[in-house]
A and B are shown apart, each in its own frame.
Chain A
Amino acid sequence: MKNRLKIERAILGITQEELALKIGVSRQTISSIEKNRYVPSTVLALRLSELFKKPVNAIFELEGNEG
């Protein structure tokens, strides 16, 4: 699963810490998602989509063999 979290965060101009605070998780969770080490739950993905005002598909994308 690829994601554009880092790019979207850069567009909003917020740090990992600030994003973590906004959606109620730890900075480590944001860092893990950005590095593709952790796939977030649907709830967290929807929270991120709401914050970035973009559909979940625009932030998270399945890679070749995952579909």
Chain B
Amino acid sequence: MARSDVQLMLDVKAGDEQSFTLLLYRYRSPLVNFLYRMVRNREQAEDLAQEVFLRVYRAREDYVPSAKFTTWLFRIATNLALNSVRDTRYQRMEISLDAPVMLDAEDGEEKTLDVAEKHPNIEQHLVEETQKKMIRHAIEKLPEKQRAAVLLHKYQELDYGEIAKILQCSESALKSLLFRAYETLRVELAPLVAQHGK
């Protein structure tokens, strides 16, 4: 039977390094994806995820299972992501407009428009990529806290109470935050929403 997150963390606290590796395997992908969608840069997302795990390791001796492990983990991740987004907000506005036309790939690596050879139905592929790009940009345009709320709610499937603790707000405030975020997404993605709703 798989040990719970809390049990693994208590084992790490007792000096079991292998339990830390199990936690790493369990949460590396959710964390990297959450951080990638927060900061929109793969390398930076991985650096931040490493920092999250490092902070968990550093705090092992003081760990007390007073809350769910995921609440603690994503609280660290959210704080790091919010700080990072605020720090780089102005840097990202300085992207050169002279750069060659690139297609922003989901894996975080820029790809040139040379997909015709690999995709016979290039038109369909471009439509799908454009749609994904619109969705990513709509998420990116959300205020940081709304973005974090949507990502934790939609992709990590955390419950309202847990997300509220991570974002340090009340459940009621969180529900309002999510409603406003979905309202913004509904407007930003209106053409896609109309298609999807049919």
Real complex partners, A and B?
A: no
Chain B residues engaging chain A, CB cutoff 8 angstroms: none
